[in-house]
Amino acid sequence: MSEQKITINGSLLAFEPGQSILEIAEENGIDIPKLCHLKGAKPTGACRMCLVEVDGWGGLSASCVTPAADGLVVHTESTKVIESRKNTLELLMASGNHNCAIGTPGGSNWEEFQEKAHEYDKGANLCPAWGDCMLQTYAYRYQVKGDMFAKSECPYPLEDTNPFITRDFSRCILCGRCVQACNEIQVNRALSIGKRGSDAKVITGIDTTLADSNCVFCGECIQVCPVGALVEKDVVKIKDHWINDKVRTTCSYCGVGCQLNLHVKDNKVIKVTGVEDAAPNYGSLCVKGRYGFDFISSPERLTKPLIKKDGEFIESSWDEALDLVSNKFNEIKKEHGADALGVFTSARITNEENYIAHKFTRAVLKTNNIDHCARL
Ligand code: SF4
Ligand code: FES
């Protein structure tokens, strides 16, 4: 146990050398606002939301990039800190289109705030991340209206020329999380920050579209975007899409076992996100895991067995289909022996299903001819 201690908001806390003030705070349940910090990537100190006041240091320090030192006394919500955060939020909301932030003088009720925002926007151009946006959350927390500075328009048009992701540059706060997620976590290297000053934007390649870049549409950038700048193209068309039930499951596309949250609305899966704090994927997914769920509610799914009769597939009952298959198995076994039969299972089905297939092959068919194919 380390002997080094730091005081945060009056609590004396032990830490390991090398830990940042933000890490120690989070470990001890102290919530410091942050917009650019991305777990698993190198801290950049870009957004200035995590500023804290350290006794004797004069100015404010970004807690995500400031290593702790023995004896430091830190304040995360001092008057100076709150003033600075309010200014940062005002500046962010003045740049681009963040239309959910409304004046709520004296308001302290989240429901009331949301209802007013809905009314204010008249549902017409509501941000697709409404209700699930860190900028909105912090604006409410610090009661920031977004009317302190003159608004600046975003010069870049919305991009949705691919089947999966909508990029709305007018809502981007240039936190850089998508760039880090793409380069440091998924290592696809499709995104970077391009241009300079007020023209800065997240670019792909030499500022082409996602579809024309080397983006593999893993969706990691959507998962980490704290605002509504990157969203799933289909999901945002669903009314009140942010109100959904989360069901945790294991991806069945391959044997890695990535942990997924299925977002279910009206008994339909509307989107998939990776489970952040669980092995093996820690929030990351591939294009199949994140977007390959249409088949679940597809009207083209077979719900009854089909038997080919006179060259045509005819719907039948399960009894008829199972009797047919079992008779054929018995015929082959009788004529050629059990080893004339074999079973291929799949890496895409569950362990339990594979176990049943193995039991069926060995105990019922009486052969050891069983294998799996990764592509089935
Ligand atoms: Fe940050 Fe989202 Fe803009 Fe990327 S698109 S820089 S994650 S706000
Ligand atoms: Fe520390 Fe953004 S979270 S500067």
User: Among all ligands shown, which has an atom nearest to the Cα of 127?
Assistant: 1
- Of 275, 301, 327, the residue at which a domain comes to its end is 301
83 found inside a domain: no
C-alpha to C-alpha distance for 333 and 6, rounded to whole angstroms: 75
* pLDDT tier at 102, thresholds 50, 70, 90: low
Q: Ligand 2 in contact with 62 (CB < 6 A)?
A: yes
Answer left, alpha or beta for residue 337, where phi above 0 means left and psi between -120 and 50 means alpha.
left
CA of 49 to the centre of ligand 1 (A): 15
Cα dihedral 221/33/43/51 (nearest 10): 150
For residue 35, give the amino acid letter. L
Whole-number pLDDT of residue 140 = 86
Q: Whose CA is nearest to atom 8 of ligand 1?
A: 172
User: Among all ligands shown, which has an atom nearest to the Cα of 26?
Assistant: 2
- Of 207, 227, 243, the residue at which a domain comes to its end is 243
Return the closest-CA partner of residue 123 out of 296, 131, 267. 131
Q: Please give the backbone phi and psi of residue 21, each rounded to the nearest 5 degrees, phi first.
A: -60, -40
Tell me the H-state helices in the chain: 21-27, 79-94, 110-121, 134-141, 177-180, 220-224, 287-291, 318-336, 351-359
Taking the alpha carbons of 29, 226, 240, 118 in that order, is the dihedral positive or negative?
Answer: positive
CA of 33 to the centre of ligand 2 (A): 8
Atom index in ligand 1 nearest the CA of residue 173 equals 8
Residue 234 and residue 144 share a domain:
yes
Query: Is residue 68 a contact partner of residue 6, using CB atoms and an 8 Å limit?
Result: yes
The residue assigned the tokens 């959910």 is 100
CA of 35 to the centre of ligand 2 (A): 6
CA of 50 to the centre of ligand 2 (A): 5
Residue 100 and residue 221 share a domain:
yes
Residue 235 and residue 249 share a domain:
no
Task: Give me the CATH number covering residue 282.
Answer: 2.20.25.90
The pTM (predicted TM-score) of the whole model is 0.83
C-alpha 122, offset from chain centre: 28
Whole-number pLDDT of residue 112 = 65
66 found inside a domain: yes
The answer on pLDDT for 107 being more than 70 is no
Tell me the three state secondary structure of residue 271. Answer: strand
* pLDDT tier at 105, thresholds 50, 70, 90: very low
Q: Average pLDDT of the chain?
A: 90
For helices 134-141 and 110-121, give the axis angle rounded to 10 degrees.
120
Query: Is residue 63 a contact partner of residue 21, using CB atoms and an 8 Å limit?
Result: yes
C-alpha to C-alpha distance for 220 and 203, rounded to whole angstroms: 16
Q: Whose CA is nearest to atom 4 of ligand 1?
A: 178
Task: Give me the CATH number covering residue 189.
Answer: 3.30.70.20
Mean pLDDT of 231-244: 83
Gyration radius (Cα) of the chain, Å: 27
The answer on pLDDT for 115 being more than 70 is no
Mean pLDDT of 76-91: 97
57, 257, 329 from 352: Cα distances, Å: 60, 14, 23
Q: Ligand 2 in contact with 85 (CB < 6 A)?
A: no
The answer on pLDDT for 310 being more than 60 is yes
Residue 238 and residue 111 share a domain:
yes
Taking the alpha carbons of 65, 70, 76, 79 in that order, is the dihedral positive or negative?
Answer: negative
Whole-number pLDDT of residue 108 = 56
The answer on pLDDT for 23 being more than 90 is yes
Residue 99 and residue 21 share a domain:
no
CA of 138 to the centre of ligand 1 (A): 16
User: Among all ligands shown, which has an atom nearest to the Cα of 176?
Assistant: 1
The answer on pLDDT for 113 being more than 90 is no
User: How many domains would you assign to the chain?
Assistant: 4
Atom index in ligand 2 nearest the CA of residue 36 equals 2
- For residue 226, whether the previous peptide bond is cis, meaning omega lies within 30 degrees of 0, is no
Query: Is residue 76 a contact partner of residue 13, using CB atoms and an 8 Å limit?
Result: no
Atom index in ligand 2 nearest the CA of residue 44 equals 4
For residue 153, give the amino acid letter. E
Residue 9 and residue 73 share a domain:
yes
Residue 235 and residue 103 share a domain:
yes
C-alpha to C-alpha distance for 215 and 223, rounded to whole angstroms: 15
Query: Is residue 33 a contact partner of residue 26, using CB atoms and an 8 Å limit?
Result: no
What is the percent of the chain where pLDDT is above 70? 92
Q: Ligand 2 in contact with 47 (CB < 6 A)?
A: yes
User: Among all ligands shown, which has an atom nearest to the Cα of 180?
Assistant: 1
Q: Which domain holds residue 62?
A: 4-77
Q: Ligand 2 in contact with 41 (CB < 6 A)?
A: no
pLDDT top residue among 236 and 291: 291
Mean pLDDT of 256-276: 95
Residue 342 and residue 286 share a domain:
no
48, 153, 209 from 200: Cα distances, Å: 17, 13, 16
288 found inside a domain: yes
Q: Ligand 2 in contact with 25 (CB < 6 A)?
A: no
Q: Whose CA is nearest to atom 1 of ligand 1?
A: 175
CA of 98 to the centre of ligand 1 (A): 13
For 120-150, what is each residue's pLDDT tens digit?
A: 555 556 788 887 899 999 998 998 888 889 9
Answer left, alpha or beta for residue 375, where phi above 0 means left and psi between -120 and 50 means alpha.
alpha
What b/e readout covers 24-59, taking b as 16+ CB neighbours within 10 angstroms? bbbeeebebbbbbbbeebebbebbbbbbbbbeeeee
* pLDDT tier at 240, thresholds 50, 70, 90: confident
What is the percent of the chain where pLDDT is above 90? 75
Q: Ligand 2 in contact with 50 (CB < 6 A)?
A: yes
Q: Which residues contact 368 (CB under 8 A, 6 or more apart)?
A: 361, 362
Residue 239 and residue 92 share a domain:
yes
The answer on pLDDT for 167 being more than 90 is yes
153 found inside a domain: yes
Whole-number pLDDT of residue 132 = 84
Answer left, alpha or beta for residue 157, where phi above 0 means left and psi between -120 and 50 means alpha.
beta
User: Among all ligands shown, which has an atom nearest to the Cα of 192?
Assistant: 1
- Which of 196-200, 224-228, 273-277, 340-344 shows the lowest mean pLDDT across its residues? 196-200
